[in-house]
Structure 1
Amino acid sequence: MVRTPLTPEERERGERLGLLLREARGHRSMVEIANSAGLSPETLRKIETGRAPTPAFFTVAALARVLGLSLDEIVTRCALVPV
């Protein structure tokens, strides 16, 4: 199966998500957060750096839970247009 290329907007939204997650992680290690969310550190690294700009919903939900973020906050902060 071939994935369609991401639009510039999708890439930008992924970069915003990565920045938000890095900010919320603060001084905690990537390994600590990834393990708590049930992810590999490499998956979290890809999301935080924008190399995986469209992670699955349940991945984002698990990270939100561990980082103390609401899904509403994620949508608001990552939206390309004000919500």
Structure 2
Amino acid sequence: MVRVPLTDEERERGERLGQALRAARAGRSMVDVAAEAGISVETLRKIETGRIPTPAFFTVAAIADAVGLPLEELRAAVTPAASPPLSQAS
């Protein structure tokens, strides 16, 4: 199976996702957050640095829960200001 290359927008969204999760992690160690989220430290590191720009939803939800970041706040942090909310998109 050939994977379609990511667009620049998708890569940028992945970077914003990583930045938001890293900021929410604040002073907690990657080891603690990864363990609480049930993922490897390397996976968390890759998501935070944007090397995994499109992680699975349940992985993102687990990390957000581990750092106490509501998904709605995370979505707002990742969505560019010019984009309409998902409920209004056609």
**Deviation beyond 2 Å, 4+ runs, structure 1:** 80-83
Q: 1:28, CA displacement in angstroms?
A: 0.8
1:23 has 2:29 as partner = no
TM (normalized to structure 1)?
Answer: 0.94
Equivalences for 1:39-54 in 2 at 5 Å? 39-54=39-54
Corresponding residue for residue 8 of structure 1: 8
1:70 has 2:70 as partner = yes
Aligned residue identity for 1:11: R
- Could you say what the CA RMSD is over the residues aligned between the two structures, in angstroms? 1.0
Per-residue CA deviations over 1:49-75 (Å, capped at 9, x if unaligned) read: 000000000001101111111111111
> Which stretches in structure 2 are left out of the alignment for 5+ residues?
86-90
> Which stretches in structure 1 are left out of the alignment for 5+ residues?
none
Larger radius of gyration: 2
Using the aligned pairs only, state the percent identity.
64
C-alpha distance in 2, partners of 1:67/1:6?
27
Mean CA deviation greater in 9-18 or 73-82: 73-82
TM (normalized to structure 2)?
Answer: 0.87
